[in-house]
A and B are shown apart, each in its own frame.
Chain A
Amino acid sequence: MDALLENFFNIAVFREVLPFLLQGLLTTLGLSALVIPTGLLGGLAVALLATQSQNKFVTLLVAAYVDLFRALPPIVLLIFIYFGFPFLGLDLPKLFAVALGFLLNNSAYYGEIFRAGLLSVPAGQTEAARSTGLTRAQALIHVVIPQATRNVLPDLVSNSIEVVKLTTIASVVALPELLRIARDAQALVYNPSPIVLAALIYLIILWPLVRWLSRLEHRNLLAR
């Protein structure tokens, strides 16, 4: 019991490292605020290409893209970008490598979700919108995409929670997000309490979101 308190919940260590971990948390949140919107936009673009394009070659290419990046573990992609590209003489800044890896990966995941959403909107909606004189783009923007987004909202929330959790992999390229700071602090104070504290911080931030998601999914289940 003493070993547990000393090594996992060491109050003195908690107090010492908390300001640094909060700094790391800010980086984690900032990173999430960067990669979630870019991923959503990339995903929407992928889904629009997949559902609206009449060109067989384009749809095939998009399907291949989605399958490829859904099969590749994000950490493999990130390490490939960050440690592979410098061999070509391209020294990418950490943040750029992480943002690129997340964009490629998230566009595939959000793309699949948006695609399901776009397909769930009945064709009559587009036809009705077009018949009132809206252009194709206007019909998409004002009629189809809002309904599609609503229909897949729980999936979008769920994936966004996964993305926040996934930002921990940026620690392997030494981007100073929460997990990285906690690991550095652990090495410094020679006690794993900082990692436990980081886990608690993730829990405090994400638990309410997970709860909310459960209720959202449950409500959708009942509404069907």
Chain B
Amino acid sequence: MDGLARLLDTFFNTEVAARYWPDILAGVWITIGVGVAVTATGLALGFALAILRAKQTPWFSIPIVMFADIMRALPPLIIIIVFFFAFPLIGISMSAFTATWLSLSLVLAAYAEESLWGAILSLPRGQSEAARSTGLTWWQTMCAVILPQALRLALPPLTNRVIAVSKNVALGSVVALSEVLNNAQSATSTAGNPTPLTMAAAAYLAIFIPAMILARRMENRMQWRV
């Protein structure tokens, strides 16, 4: 066999691709599902923490800063491994899904909190002072004046981070979460051909290139209005 034919037969084997296509597709749904779940809980928790931190009481600020620092300093893979392999020994067992989802949610929350908090800080003080002096309560000021502006400012780092953390769903393969990469690896070893790995790479691109384009569009639109 000449070089090109061999390359095609190895990485783009249509017969293998047809056989394992359902496995890859099933993995795609898991990847998207976990990614969406992580985005939702991570952002919600991160925003809640940033708002609490804006209360500026040490009871909230110190634990929040520590949480954000630790989650940004630890490699996500080791967090997933600790949850999945170590926690069962102290009586907390979780599935591969829960371990991956929980780890990545905490990581995303830490970054989201930092981004939003940075944006809140960068708003001129006059904004909240003016809002309070019109008689708005602290919560009303936060929800109606500060957050809408801060979220817009924090949008580019937030979208980048959401995509970066969602890509880490692939780390779930280490604890046998049946996402794309995990399914592709087992398919590769049963088929004796790495075409499923090519499919996994293509599947991840098919998920994340549109996500990146969507994020870019959202950023441009928001930037234009400010």
Which residues of A approach B to under 8 Å, CB–CB?
Answer: 3-4, 7-8, 67-68, 70-77, 79-80, 83-84, 87-88, 161-162, 165-169, 171-172, 179, 183, 186, 191-192, 195-196, 198-199, 202-203, 206-207, 209-211, 214, 217-218, 221, 224
Contacts and interface: CB of A to CB of B under 8 A. Distances in A.
B89 A202 contact: no
Given A72-B205, A166-B75, A83 B69 contact: no
B152 interface: no
Pick the 6 closest A-B CB pairs, nearest first.
A192-B86, A71-B208, A165-B75, A73-B170, A84-B194, A206-B73
B41 interface: no
Contacts of A3: 89-91
Nearest to B189: A83
Contacts of A203: 70, 73-74
A134 B7 CA distance: 48
Determine which residue in B7, B11, B79 has the highest number of CB atoms from chain A within 10 A of its CB, and name it: B11
B7 A192 contact: no
Given A76-B200, A183-B81, A195-B85, A207 B69 contact: yes
B75 A168 contact: yes
Interface of B: 6-7, 10-11, 69-70, 72-79, 81-82, 85-86, 89-91, 114, 118, 121-122, 164, 167-171, 173-174, 180-181, 185, 188, 193-194, 197-198, 200-201, 204-205, 208-209, 211-212
Contact of B205 (A71, A172, A198, A209): A71
Contacts of B170: 73, 75-76
Contact of B201 (A77, A186, A198): A77
Nearest to A200: B74
B69 A210 contact: yes
Contacts of A172: 174
Given A88-B6, A167-B75, A179-B81, 8 more contacts: A67-B209, A71-B167, A75-B181, A199-B82, A202-B73, A214-B69, A221-B121, A224-B122
A165 B74 contact: yes
Contacts of A167: 75
A169 B201 contact: no
B70 to A, nearest CB: 7
A73 B65 CA distance: 28
B183 to A, nearest CB: 12
Nearest to A172: B174
A196 B82 contact: yes
A7 B90 CA distance: 7
Contacts of A196: 82, 86
